[in-house]
Structure 1
């Protein structure tokens, strides 16, 4: 606890009270007097009258000059929509570089225009919209001052039209599709452009190259001639109808045909506060998780992709750290069905955010899972320029136990977590950090049920210096969270340096030193990982990294180093090893792309490990994108394991007939997991935020080869709002 208090004092003392960095960059937006047609043709009078944002600044490869690829942006609004137009001039002839027409593309692999709106003017939260050069749409919510969650989607309209010397992006964003503070006449705004042929990333306002152009600390100001109009009554209904057929061959069950219906509702309590309701939700449109070979001692993390949990999802899921998450929404509804749920989230005023969620699942006799109720309350108060203090309460109650169901572990009668954290983000984003304290309450678990952690980082153009510590009690239990390890103390200091040659093929290069030490409750070492890496970034945007590493592990529980055979190393067994790694990522602007990582060295119990992971892709742009991901692990261990090898092969094909019609198919062969998975998804977005899906899934046991289960689902969703 003393460590947390000391870190909090440091975070407060390091805070920089400064004005917004780019407050002198202002764009004045005016109300339109005539209709705007979204077609990529800017022949309306409104675009002739609008102010022009131009003279973009280069961010990459260097941040010290004006952009060489011109971009001009215009904005306007009426009672219902925000309108934006971007004219993106081409510096070099030829076809634009894109992956496909599929929405929510990878920023660094596409020519694109994207903009970021800080609608609360708090430098922390907002929305992002845009498109690549052939019209694939991008939309997401923004959190933590510069991160974008692309799983979020809402109603808006866009068009991209290509010309020999430019492409034009045009869009309308309904006020009802975003959240903003009533009555304020200034928002944060920035515009970003990526041009692969010139390897240039640029933005309207100057952004240091070490930060993303999404960084809200470096936005300019969107000045409204009058405060944005209220969205008015804003209620959206999103019903769905689903029919499907499935068969479980592995458990010898008969073919099941099912028809389901349910839906969501979104009710705007205010322009900044939203109530989400769901009844019998279904998530059949979600792709199957990408399988991985797991040679770690702990549970793997898979991110949330279900739409209901995403708006303001950072306030719920991002409390804590990647390895200490007291709340993780994927715990809800994976072993039994969700009956209904409600979620209130958003801004109470300029300084306060709130999130309240309640979800109810039914009991499941087949899995011996009781009915459960999940409650999450999050309250956040902004302090200083960009920092905040957050409070969190998570509670899970279990009841209606099926016969034979356990009352411990995930099925315990109750589990409660309470926590507080302070998040530092300086006005110029050079200093970031966090300090948190958590406590859990569970049956028969008392003492050592606290967690405390903190970190502090300084990052400028040349140096990144930071450190993190974690103290997790042996009885700390995050029943609705993701905390794969308990009963440890961790220290993780790191430092890196970048050098920038004035000429030549290398853009930047430099070393990173990272030390990670784990101790048990008696402060005896259990794990140590120390690595020194060197990264070279070429002006072509390809990246080469080399790494040498030393590892030490003292096992605190029996462990099978293959996660496959069922033979275990004993508690207390100690292993030391060294290994080396090299990785390379090719230039993203090529039609043929590839990357690989080679890792060779020691392993548990004096063994050896060789790993190869690579991705190869080719695109027939913009309609077909083919990728092949392969992972190979070869382990050489003493008996009873001997030599073991695992293949993980995953080809994937994306076919995008238009930017509204997608076909995705992928195959996964996981030797370690003894599974072959085939997943095919057809999606037709027949109107904004309304979809028709056909999803086909097959799972096989590789040896002997037979079908485990098979399913075909048809789903229709419709977004209806007033």
Structure 2
């Protein structure tokens, strides 16, 4: 198999160079949209009946990005821009020859999955630095998705901006009418009365999996790559002024515990008052303050059954920490397409604040964050106080960040974290850099030192990650090291005492020689190598050669892939995946894996990951399958089944099944009023968890929540413990 793949590595380039979709440089003549000033206010209804829209000029024609880069789109898109003293308005008419019958949307979730929806989006670069981008995206039903991007590399995906949108659907396509308060946007204070901003508009027609944009960019990048952006001309925004957003909340909760420690009240009722304040001091600087912080509205974590030697990484879900996460989020980790390697090193991980190791909340008394961003430099600081609870004393956290931009798209920076408790202090000091060597070449580096005063231990971690990305292939090499005593108590690391070497390559092949062109869009084989040596001894402790001879992307958006993974593991300490005890020693085994997925935008869609083969000294078959039924955007039900079948594995030659079931439903009257719930059952510890959440956005970013959460599991003494929580919360946002 390895010889076969190597032969493919030699043969494929001859096909790849013949393809028409090379990486191109930004056009010297930029596409433009001219905004027109009006003196009236528009009624936002998605119908564009006002005379102001009728007399405004439409945008130039779009260019296709996917699947045929540079070609004319099959469906026409028109964009218009107006503004007054309060708002910047946009009208996007996404024409469609099949009308509203062609539209795809599976739910009303804010920050929806872009693979499941038609959508259109606006991207702004108000400072014209070609690095920072703000994206506002909507689907045909007015569901919002927004994010901040830096260098098209770091993203604040869960940032929520204050803006409004209404849509309409007809036999001609769909229309989005958008109103953006000037205070939501970021732009400089200048002596000139007229400003031109970097700007782009992009659209995805999910039925044919086609993407297009006002200003073209290579398909291996995204619309947030602002050096390829066009221009939004003739803007006369009001001078940016300090604006303040205040969001107080009132919360009532009822807690019921059964078979817990006697120190925990079996029943308890609480009331909380708190809130947050956001002060945009100037276009570059923002101060956030929070008191008696609460995250009852945050989506609950799902259980994961992990059979690898890597720690599970749960993403941050709390809004306060999600904003400006890209500034503080220096580190390395696997990308969404699995490139880069599995090793993850982050000197700062916000889930270390206000959550215990099991994900249970710990009260936060107060905190603040200051962020400054400009063309030349970025810096920020985060200070939080966590309340003392039980045996955990009050804890103070501090994070400081600085980075300097230089050259076209390069930066170098530092990050410092501090966690202080009465019994000691943990600190990390970081130096990092990112270098955009060309449109295709990039290098990301970091060095981290940790020290703990209570144990006097010091440790070190570092990495260098190189990427070469074109429309034909992606090549990477990640070199990392984490010493045995590295301990970032305010960060995250997959494993310690390890040297990781993870090179790899993906081919993106769309040659005309591909069979079944109406079915298959791309053939993308690859090779991902994972080598890990023990840092303290230099001995090889893990080797995976992930050979991916087949990966097919279908025209519909579905996929099929096959991998074979020859693996070597040297266990220097006992390993217990899902309670199965595996002893010390050297193990050689081979695993096989199949990925399959249908078009995720269809009413009924399915994807699965099935892997099988030998596993240490036995066998393991694993299935992770998900089925979604979404007959209309107002209703979405998803079922998921995960099974790990161990066959004569470990010291006890264990044969067992460990199953994890889950069901999730989302019922929405509209994008602002939704009922969401999920249920999970895990056979490993007979745990049963469910969460039901009613959310009403009664005005933009002001919410009423009612949350019910249940958790039950068996202890080691086979005692059934349960906890139930009922929470009602109302928040009110006022921006002035």
**Shorter-chain TM-score above 0.5:** yes
Residue equivalent to 1:175:
182
Contact 1:299 1:484 in 2 (8 A): yes
> What is aligned with 1:363?
388
Q: Which residue of structure 1 aligns with residue 728 of structure 2?
A: 714
Q: 1:276 aligns with which of 272, 275, 288?
A: 288
Residue 654 of structure 1: how far off its partner (Å): 0.5
Among 105, 109, 121, which residue is 2:116 paired with? 109
Residue 455 of structure 1 corresponds to which residue in structure 2? 465
Superposition deviation, residue 225 in structure 1: 4.1
Q: Does 1:138 align with 2:163?
A: no
SS for the counterpart of 2:484 is coil
State the SS of the aligned residue for 1:123. coil
1:691 aligned to 693, 699, 703, which one?
703
* Cα shift at 1:549: 0.6
Moved more, 592-601 or 698-707: 698-707
1:241 offset after TM fit, Å? 0.3
Structure 1: gaps of 5 or more residues: 1-17, 400-406, 408-412
Aligned pairs (5 A) from 1:376-391: 376-391=399-414
Q: 1:536 aligns with which of 531, 552, 555?
A: 552
SS in 2 for 1:563: helix
Whole-Å separation in 2 of the counterparts to 1:314 and 1:239 = 26
Which one of 467, 485, 509 corresponds to residue 475 of structure 1?
485
* Of 137-146 and 523-532, the range deviating more from structure 2: 137-146
In the alignment, what sits opposite 1:5?
none
8 Å Cα contact 2:642-2:661 kept in structure 1: yes
Equivalent positions of 1:626-637 (< 5 A) are 626-636=637-647, 637=649
Q: Is the 8 A contact 2:622 2:645 kept in 1?
A: yes
Kept after mapping to 2: 8 A contact 1:527/1:551: yes
Deviation at 1:673, TM superposition (A): 4.6
Q: Hey, what does 1:519 align to over in structure 2?
A: 533
Deviations 1:201-229 (A, max 9, x none): 11112122222333334222223444x32
* Number of matched pairs: 683
Is 1:97–1:111's contact at 8 Å kept on the other side of the alignment?
yes
Q: TM-score, normalised by structure 2?
A: 0.89
Which residue of structure 2 aligns with residue 583 of structure 1? 595
Shift of 1:390: 1.7
| Structure-2 separation of matches of 1:262 and 1:225 | 38
Match of 1:266 among 273, 278, 282: 278
Contact 1:101 1:658 in 2 (8 A): yes
- The equivalent of 2:74 in structure 1 is 68
Give the drift of 1:158: 0.8
Separation in 2 of the partners of 1:643 and 1:577?
18
Structure 1 Cα separation of the partners of residues 292 and 87 of structure 2: 32
1:437 to partner: Cα distance: 1.2
Question: Aligned partners of 1:44 and 1:177: how far apart in 2?
Answer: 24
Structure 1 equivalent of residue 340 of structure 2: none
Kept in 2: contact 1:385–1:427 (CA 8 A) = no
User: What is the RMSD of the two structures over their aligned residues, measured on CA atoms?
Assistant: 2.1
Deviates more, 1:265-274 or 1:208-217: 208-217
Structure 2: which 5+ residue stretches go unaligned?
1-23, 335-343, 357-361
Equivalent positions of 1:404-443 (< 5 A) are: 407=423, 413-426=424-437, 428=439, 430-443=440-453
Cα deviation, residue 29, structure 1: 2.4
SS of structure 1 residue aligned to 2:54? helix
Answer with 109-118 or 36-45: which moved more. Answer: 36-45
Find the counterpart in structure 2 of residue 490 from structure 1. 500
Q: Specify whether residues 270 and 333 from structure 1 end up closer, same or farther in structure 2 by C-alpha distance, changes over 3 A only.
A: same
**TM alignment of 1:394-413, pairs within 5 A:** 394-399=417-422, 407=423, 413=424
Residue 617 (structure 1) aligned with residue 653 (structure 2): no
* 1:191 corresponds to: 201
Q: Say which of 597, 604, 607 aligns to 2:618.
A: 607
Q: Distance in 1 between matches of 2:365 and 2:283?
A: 28
**What is the aligned partner in structure 1 of residue 65 from structure 2?**
59
Q: Distance in 1 between matches of 2:133 and 2:365?
A: 31
User: Which residues in structure 2 correspond to 1:143-292 (within 5 Å)?
Assistant: 143-145=150-152, 148-183=155-190, 185-226=195-236, 228-251=237-260, 253-292=265-304
